[in-house]
């Protein structure tokens, strides 16, 4: 049996994005899973402590990500902690996110950080 195409293949057109008024924005994921799944898939160490806080370290140990729901800082509005250090161990910069920031947004921030393997900006 021989199969022949009678019409050229045409992929389905992409659906147009919804209008801004109809879009469902990230609002409700406040667990650590989207972040820990991303980081585990990239070879990061991920450890949960007895208080249900989660601590993550990059393979080179220069980036720390903490999901700290049982910390004093979380009571003050800082649930997520991200610390980046220079090669000499000094803090290069920090970022925190509050309890109302969806975990997918934190994961997106970290995915962007991971996607740029050099510390230098091309525009400088």
Token digits of residue 117: 């393997």
Q: What does each of the 124 residues of the chain score in pLDDT, given as a tens digit?
A: 444 444 454 555 666 666 666 667 666 677 899 999 999 999 999 999 999 999 999 999 999 999 999 999 888 999 999 999 998 999 999 999 999 899 999 999 999 999 987 767 777 6
**Measured distance CA(75)–CA(71) in Å, rounded:** 7
The 91-97 sheet, strands edge to edge: 45-48, 54-57, 63-67, 80-85, 91-97
Q: What is the dihedral of CA 58, 59, 61, 67, to 10 degrees?
A: 30
């Amino acid at each position: 049996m021989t199969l022949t195409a009678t019409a050229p293949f045409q992929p389905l057109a992409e659906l147009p994005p919804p209008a801004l008024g109809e879009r469902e924005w990230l609002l409700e994921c406040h667990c650590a899973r989207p972040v820990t799944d991303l980081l585990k898939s990239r070879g990061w160490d991920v450890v949960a402590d007895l208080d249900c806080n989660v601590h993550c370290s990059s393979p080179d140990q220069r980036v720390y990500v903490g999901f700290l729901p049982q910390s004093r800082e979380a009571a003050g509005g800082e649930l997520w902690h991200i610390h980046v250090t220079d090669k000499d161990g000094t803090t290069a910069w920090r970022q925190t996110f509050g309890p109302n920031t969806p975990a997918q947004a934190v994961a997106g921030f970290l995915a962007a950080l991971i996607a740029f393997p050099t510390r230098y900006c091309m525009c400088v």
